[in-house]
């Protein structure tokens, strides 16, 4: 795996830091433990990449920011500690957009989509998506505040699971917006995502927002099929105003789920009016607070996008924030009521097909970036932000390919703590289709 990274990643730029020496030591230790009969489980000895928001003891954690270029934690984040406890080998730290927003710092590398280098690599967990799709790790850890597990997963044609808020500890993970941040797995197949999720989920006394819920045991639901499972579909929400080929792929997936025994139920998604604005007020204000030690005092070290994003956060008034929180509460109540009536709701994942992008847009100001994004995918925020605001879990996986050879993705959203059911549904669809077996050609 290290040889492949050193051969291919100078082109794709998914890694910020390769932890080669430590990875080799951990791999040798895993080999000895397994040979001695001390097998820790399905992650023992498996090489994993970690988004460079997650603390790694003795290894820099930059978060894509110039202001943290030299920050070296003295401890592991809880998610990294749990991976190590499960026997995983940490290959290195994966690149991301600056501070996990949408734009990149001009002084940092930008990951390239392995299907087409001129297409969007997804949101902030772009390095995690690119490395996993390109076979530069067996799976990866990402974070999702407005779609940053699901968008890069869908753009790169892999599986992404955004857990229930609090299901995976955020301790030792650099914050974007603490009330919206989620940590979760990204992998090539649903089974791998479930294994990774089971290893990292669980309450944590170091994170007061973590949930002391029963073990997730998502792997146990795999292979149970979908007979009798109720899947909601709002055709207006899911199929209108999106790429025509993507809509056809989603309809084909819906039909296949029916053939596999699921019941497709007509539902109505919550009203999205004012939703993006509420997300923006909450996210920018919380992010400005998270960066208060370095912004605005070191504003010149930030890239154009994040400087503008943080400035917006400092201008959010108490009344605006209160209104945003009321909108969030109403959306969450509507979402909960809908999800109580079905086992999951299906729709797009917000990051597919990957739209044309340029380096100048990604390191530039917010306005041109968002104009290009809105022109290419005007509804993408509707497919990811509501799940973060409501704190409910969602999983995405490939469901086809465009005529240009770009992945299409489908998303299933469930009620709180329903990751096991979501993995069960996604696994049934995955195993009935060939899409997870198709990978980009990335040899240097």
The predicted-structure confidence for 364-399, as pLDDT tens digits, reads as follows 999 999 999 999 999 999 999 999 999 999 999 999
Task: Find tokens 């949101």 and name the residue.
Answer: 123
pLDDT one-digit tens code per residue, 128-141: 999 999 999 999 99
- Position 443 confidence tier, pLDDT thresholds 50, 70, 90: confident
The ranges assigned to domains in the chain are: 2-437
pLDDT one-digit tens code per residue, 84-125: 999 999 999 999 999 999 999 999 999 999 999 999 999 999
Q: 281 pLDDT exceeds 80?
A: yes
pLDDT score for 161: 99
What is the pTM (predicted TM-score) of this model?
0.98
pLDDT score for 141: 99
Give the number of residues written for the chain: 444
Residues annotated catalytic, as ranges: 51, 124, 148
Q: Is the peptide bond before 353 cis (omega within 30 degrees of 0)?
A: yes
> What value, to the nearest 5°, has the Cα angle with vertex 226 and ends 222 and 228?
140
End-to-end alpha-carbon separation of the chain, Å? 14
Look up residue 121 and give its two tokens. Answer: 């690599």
Q: Which residues pair with 409 in a beta bridge?
A: 398
- Position 76 confidence tier, pLDDT thresholds 50, 70, 90: very high
What is the C-alpha separation between 317 and 315, in angstroms, rounded?
A: 6
pLDDT one-digit tens code per residue, 26-61: 999 999 999 999 999 999 999 999 999 999 999 999
pLDDT score for 69: 97
Percent of the chain scoring above 70 in pLDDT = 100
Which CATH architecture does the domain made up of 2-437 adopt? Alpha-Beta Complex (3.90)
Q: 444 pLDDT exceeds 80?
A: no
For 344-357, what is the mean pLDDT? 97
pLDDT score for 439: 97
pLDDT score for 389: 98
């Amino acid at each position: 795996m290290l040889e492949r990274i050193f051969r291919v990643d100078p082109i794709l730029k998914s890694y910020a830091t390769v932890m080669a020496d430590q990875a080799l030591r951990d791999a040798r230790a895993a080999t000895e433990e397994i040979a001695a009969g001390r097998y820790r489980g399905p992650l023992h000895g498996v090489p994993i990449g970690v988004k460079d928001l997650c603390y790694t003891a003795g290894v820099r954690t930059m978060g894509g920011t110039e202001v943290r270029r030299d920050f070296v934690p003295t401890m592991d984040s809880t998610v990294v500690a749990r991976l190590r406890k499960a026997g995983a080998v940490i290959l290195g730290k994966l690149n991301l957009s600056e501070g996990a927003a949408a734009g990149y710092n001009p002084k940092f590398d930008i990951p390239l989509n392995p299907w087409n280098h001129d297409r969007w690599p997804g949101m902030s967990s772009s390095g995690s998506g690119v490395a996993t799709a390109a076979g530069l790790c067996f799976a990866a850890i990402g974070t999702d505040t407005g779609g940053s597990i699901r968008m890069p997963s869908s753009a790169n044609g892999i599986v992404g699971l955004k857990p229930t808020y609090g299901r995976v500890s955020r301790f030792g993970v650099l914050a974007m917006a603490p009330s919206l941040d989620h940590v979760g797995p990204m992998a090539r197949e649903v089974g791998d995502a479930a294994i990774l999720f089971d290893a990292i989920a669980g309450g944590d006394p170091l994170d007061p927002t973590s949930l002391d819920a029963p073990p997730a045991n998502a792997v146990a639901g795999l292979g149970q099929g979908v007979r009798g499972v109720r899947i909601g579909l709002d055709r207006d929400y899911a199929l209108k105003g999106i790429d025509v080929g993507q809509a056809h792929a989603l309809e084909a997936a819906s039909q296949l789920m029916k053939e596999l025994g699921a019941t497709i139920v007509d539902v109505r998604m919550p009203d999205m009016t004012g939703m993006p604005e509420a997300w923006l007020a909450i996210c920018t204000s919380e992010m400005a607070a998270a960066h208060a030690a370095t912004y605005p005092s070191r504003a010149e070290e930030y890239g154009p996008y994040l400087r503008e994003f943080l400035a917006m956060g400092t201008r959010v008034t108490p009344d605006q924030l209160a209104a945003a929180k009321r909108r969030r509460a109403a959306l969450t109540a509507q979402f909960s009521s809908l999800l109580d009536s079905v086992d999951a709701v299906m729709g797009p994942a917000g990051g597919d097909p990957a739209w044309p992008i340029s380096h100048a847009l990604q390191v530039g100001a917010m306005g041109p970036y968002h104009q290009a994004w809105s022109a290419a995918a005007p509804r993408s925020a509707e497919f990811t932000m509501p799940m973060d605001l409501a704190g409910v879990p969602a999983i995405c996986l490939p469901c086809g390919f465009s005529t240009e050879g770009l992945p299409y993705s489908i998303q299933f959203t469930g009620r709180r703590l329903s990751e096991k059911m979501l993995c069960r549904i996604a696994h049934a669809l995955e195993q009935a289709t060939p899409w997870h077996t198709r990978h980009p050609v990335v040899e240097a």
